[in-house]
Amino acid sequence: MKKILGLVAIMTIATTAFTYAQSKTDVALNQALTAYYDVKNALATDKKDLAIEKVKSLSAKINAVNHKDLPADQHKIFLEQAAIIKSKAAQLAGSNDIKTQRKAFEGISYAMIKTLKGLKFNSQTVYVQHCPMAKASWLNEKENIENPYYGSMMFDCGDVAETIKSN
């Protein structure tokens, strides 16, 4: 009986530790998602200098994610997509041309979409939106379209392709 109780106690502690580590990782991922929204909002409002500032914050938030506690399959997804996000973030930050920034943001967006779908960390509903003119998608915290690929030129061009409910 003592062995069974001991085993149950160990399993409870391990599960609690894993859940706590997972929740800390989810918090960090949600902070990265918020930083992503800041970049999206800057591009949607044609603020290329602000986009540079915000994408640096996004890179820092991605670097701050304690991914070592993720299960193996999620860890692999995170590492692959984080590398893309950081690479494209560097491209965006290194350009003063808003068209180049928007092209880099497309890569960031697809990596964030894959990360979100693979890790299911969102604490709020997320809208995957798509612009047929740009042939590109992005994540939005609001259901209303805010097109980062065309900005003020076609601010509300696009549609909600998918709604990802909070976890």
Residues of the chain with pLDDT under 70: 1-22
Q: What pLDDT, on the 0 to 100 scale, is given for residue 98? A: 97
Chain-centroid distance, C-alpha 96: 23
Residue-range definition of the domain harbouring residue 131: 24-164
- Structural domain contains residue 8: no
> What's the structural domain count of the chain?
1
- Structural domain contains residue 10: no
- Structural domain contains residue 19: no
- Structural domain contains residue 2: no
- Structural domain contains residue 1: no
- Structural domain contains residue 14: no
Q: What pLDDT, on the 0 to 100 scale, is given for residue 22? A: 52
Q: What pLDDT, on the 0 to 100 scale, is given for residue 1? A: 61
Residue 4, exposed/middle/buried by CB under 10 A (0-12, 13-18, 19+)? exposed
